[in-house]
Homo-oligomer: A and B are copies of this chain.
């Protein structure tokens, strides 16, 4: 799996890593049981510090996306706390949709966007 980082982005590096790995899981680019590169290896590949990768992995572990195994490394292991996920999504959507609504984005247009994006996550 290819992981890239934008050093000019306002977003923290470890957040970019976290997001890209979540995207990789959603698009089935990496799957349950697959191992991610070691913190030192990934850090060396993209040219950043080991601790930055470690922080991304720690966040992903806390959020229930991976488990850290001393033998296998960081392994994709999804913790399906769906209620929590729904609550998180609702909180984020409430702000995001409010901003869109102010800008004239209709409910139907949001539905179309959701369909378009979700179709990227279902081409099994």
The docked-state distance in angstroms from the alpha carbon of A26 to that of B88 is: 20
23 pairs across A/B with beta carbons < 8 Å?
A19-B95, A22-B95, A22-B99, A23-B95, A26-B98, A26-B99, A64-B103, A78-B103, A81-B103, A82-B104, A85-B104, A86-B100, A89-B105, A89-B113, A90-B113, A93-B114, A96-B96, A97-B117, A97-B121, A101-B118, A101-B121, A107-B115, A111-B111
Known: A19-B95, A26-B97, A110-B118. 7 other contacts (CB 8 A): A19-B98, A23-B95, A80-B103, A81-B103, A90-B117, A94-B117, A101-B121
Write the residues of chain A forming the contact surface with B, with a CB cutoff of 8 angstroms: 19, 22-23, 25-27, 64-65, 78, 80-82, 84-86, 88-90, 92-105, 107, 109-111, 113-115, 117-118, 121-122
